[in-house]
Amino acid sequence: MKRKLIIYIILIIVLSMIFGWIHRVQSKKTTVPVENRVEKTEIQKDSLDLWLDKLAEKENCPIEGIMDKNHKLSFGKFCFQFDTFKFYVRKYNLLPNTEDQELYNWISDAEFQRKLARMMLEEDINNWKHWQLSTLKIGKPKVVN
């Protein structure tokens, strides 16, 4: 009887160790190194991306908007005013099924603004004029081939 009890205890300990090891191995398999993906993205930036980084840092309006010198609200990282935002969104057909008033749901989205600003500058590098004051401080963007 004593011998069977010792065998059961040893069996329980061994099984616990095996299940613990399996759990640890499985949890390691699902870990994704996020830092590596971020670094890879940073390396692939071109000169326009770097200029847009500087512009976003200089502009940086609150998402709820701030009154600009022309008495119109400017929104989000790139300080888009609604009329400019709407014009270019419609021009590039970015949100085709969105009504004008629904664009307010998009105007403060930093990633969407960045995409729009890049498209504007790729189409015409002189579109930097939409951010004249910041461009005086950070310089004009360079043409990307």
- The answer to whether 76 and 113 have CB atoms below 8 angstroms apart is yes
Q: What does the mean pLDDT of the chain come to?
A: 86
HEC readout, the chain: CHHHHHHHHHHHHHHHHHHHHHHHHHHHHCCCCHHHHHHHHHHCCCHHHHHHHHHHHHHCCCCCCEECCCCCEEECCCCEEHHHHHHHHHHCCCCCCCCHHHHHHCCCCHHHHHHHHHHHHHHCHHHHHHHHHHHHHHCCCCCCC
Measured over all CA atoms, what is the biggest interatomic distance in the chain, rounded to whole angstroms? 92
pLDDT of 38 > 50? The answer is no
Q: How confident is the model at residue 44 (pLDDT cuts 50, 70, 90)?
A: confident
Average pLDDT over residues 4-32: 71
pTM of model > 0.75: no
Average pLDDT over residues 15-19: 78
Percent of the chain with pLDDT over 90: 65
Q: What residue segments make up the domains of the chain, in order of their start?
A: 1-31, 45-138
Per-residue pLDDT reduced to its tens digit, 98-127: 999 999 999 999 999 999 999 999 999 999
pLDDT of 28 > 80? The answer is no
